[in-house]
Amino acid sequence: MTRTPGNLLDFTCSALDGVRAHVPLVQCITNSVVVNVTANALLALGASAAMVDIRGEAGPFAGVASGLLVNLGTPTLEQREAMLEAVTAANAAGTPWVLDPVAVGSLPVRTPLGHTLRDLRPTVVRGNASEIIAVTGSGAGGRGVDASDGVDAAVSSARSLAERTGGVVAISGPVDVVTDGRDLVRIANGDALLTKITGGGCALGAVMAAFAAVDDDRFATTVAAITVYTVAAELAAARAAGPGSFQAAFLDALATVDGDALRSRAALT
């Protein structure tokens, strides 16, 4: 597929139908703050979630799951060991996996773990600009989970990271960027209310894993995941009074977003 915005939008509509038809099972090793939000986002979209994150189970499950999310938000010792177990099994089984290096660079435990996981060649790395810069080893990270760098400042790091891992890198921000080191797409959808609820970014990593499970073009599936997610956020914001009502409306929008909404709203360049 030639990766023009039009072709990627066509692919996005097809991939959304594919997720809903195949109901990919996404294993989530994620942080304790967002477990419920992440599971609900996957269910609303049409996928399935399994929070299998303990030693002895994480590896065997990753071998049969459709996709895997590894999120470093609250990396307990048990989770850290489960992450490495799951990633090793996922790589052996060919299971696509997404690394979300939450707060890497600014904290001393998760930073070396993030670098170790990076070197295990994730299918997709998703983070804010400061996290993407830091996971390459070229920055000190942001202010906890908040970025202190703009998206454009991370583009060079994202390209080099994609070349290093052989995968795809997605930078989240007011305009999202996706690159595989060669091609680059910007997605100018979404709403600021996504930053006002817990798990707005973390759940996106799980959605990326769900989309990665339905097609081998992981650049296109990553673009599709972000586009569906951020268009759904716009639909939800249009009928929300604030963060509380937005969260409920967002789940509804993930369940109902369709090709017509994507074609009328998607802003890919």
Please state the residue numbers annotated as binding site. Answer: 51, 126, 172, 199
The answer to whether 24 touches 210, Cβ cutoff 8 Å, is: yes
Work out whether strand 25-29 and strand 48-50 pair parallel, antiparallel, or are unpaired: parallel
For 46, phi then psi, to 5°, come to: 120, 5
Q: Taking Cα atoms as reference points, which of 197, 167, 190, 188 lies closest to residue 179?
A: 167
Which parts of the chain fold into alpha helices (H)?
5-22, 35-45, 58-62, 77-93, 110-118, 129-135, 155-165, 202-212, 218-237, 243-256, 259-265
Name the one residue in this structure whose structure tokens are 């959304």. Answer: 16
Q: Taking Cα atoms as reference points, which of 193, 259, 197 lies closest to residue 228?
A: 259
Token code pair at residue 229: 């997610």
| Nearest-angstrom CA–CA distance, 179 and 167 | 9
Q: How many helices (H) and strands (E) does the chain have?
A: 11, 8
Burial class (CB in 10 A: 0-12, 13-18, 19+), 48: middle
**Would you list which residues are annotated within the binding site for ATP?**
126, 172
**Would you list which residues are annotated within the binding site for substrate?**
51, 199
